Amino acid sequence: MSAAQPPTERESAPTKRVPIRRRPMPCPHCDAEIERELAASAAPTCPHCERALAPVEVAGFWRQALAGLVDLAFLALTAGPIAWGLHRLVDPLPLAPGARGLDLALSLFATDFSALLLRAGPVLVLASAYFMISVAWAGRTLGQRLLSIHVIDRHGRAPSVPIVGLRTLTQLVGTLAAALGPLWVAFDSERRAVHDLVAGTYVVRST
């Protein structure tokens, strides 16, 4: 029997915990293909980068969509009246005086984007604060809590405040871009929106 080899620097270094989904998907650390069977292992590790893995189950599109609708309803009942009250105090000029229906929509498309952004400013600030504080404080929003899902980083832990800030900013931009950012969940194999891809986060089922 040969003598035991001393541990290499790579083996002796502490391994980071990274999530493994319950379906064949890339390793979130090295992007190598991971087989689903590893999720049943007592101490799963990536066979390529040898990092420790934390088995989780990614939240599906409809569960994330329902959570988003709950959050939108909550914001409509809270941020909506506050923004309306601020507009009443400032009394801004109407964007399209006398326009209705299709004419109103066409007028808004022709309006300067900075003017639209300024008009929507209070709602955007309140919505950003809601998502930022909720995810940084509890790892999930009200809608995600009701749908039993939460946000983790690529190491399987709650995301840090800077990561949550980056995620919230990208979420805001992606939502303003015709909601293409959040809708990317429907096309991504890991069910990640654009803001999750940018921030390195995952939305997973809560145990």
Tokens of 158: 């709650």
Q: What is the pLDDT, as a whole number, of residue 4?
A: 46
User: Could you tell me which of 123, 142, 132 has the C-alpha nearest to residue 81?
Assistant: 123
* Least confident span in 2-16, 40-54, 58-72, 176-190: 2-16
Distance in angstroms (rounded) separating the CA atoms of residues 18 and 153? 8
pTM for this one? 0.74
| pLDDT at position 10 | 46
- Of 42-46, 72-76, 82-86, which gets the smallest average pLDDT? 82-86
Q: How large is the greatest C-alpha to C-alpha distance in the chain, in angstroms?
A: 90
More confidently predicted of 29 and 168: 168
Unique residue bearing structure tokens 């939305």: 203
pLDDT exceeds 70 at position 57: yes
Comparing 58-67, 76-85, 101-110, 177-186, the range with the smallest average pLDDT is 101-110
Dig out the tokens for 14 from the structure: 């502490």
What the block records as the tokens of 134 is: 């909720």
81 by DSSP, 3-state: which? Answer: helix
Cα angle, residue 144 at apex, residues 204 and 185 outer, rounded to 5°: 55
Degrees, nearest 5: CA angle 70-72-73: 65
Q: Express as a percent the part of the chain with pLDDT over 70.
A: 73
Tokens of 46: 């990536």
Encoded amino acid at 60, one letter: G
Taking residues 139-165, report their average pLDDT: 94
Predicted confidence band at 85 (pLDDT cuts at 50, 70, 90)?
A: confident
Q: pLDDT tens for residues 103-126?
A: 555 555 555 556 666 677 788 889
List beta partners, residue 152.
202
pLDDT for 5: 44
Beta pairing, strands 52-55 & 17-20: parallel
Q: What is the mean pLDDT of the chain?
A: 80
* Rounded average pLDDT over 167-176: 92
Q: Is 173 exposed, middle or buried (0-12, 13-18, 19+ CB in 10 A)?
A: middle
Give me the residue label for tokens 């900013």.
169
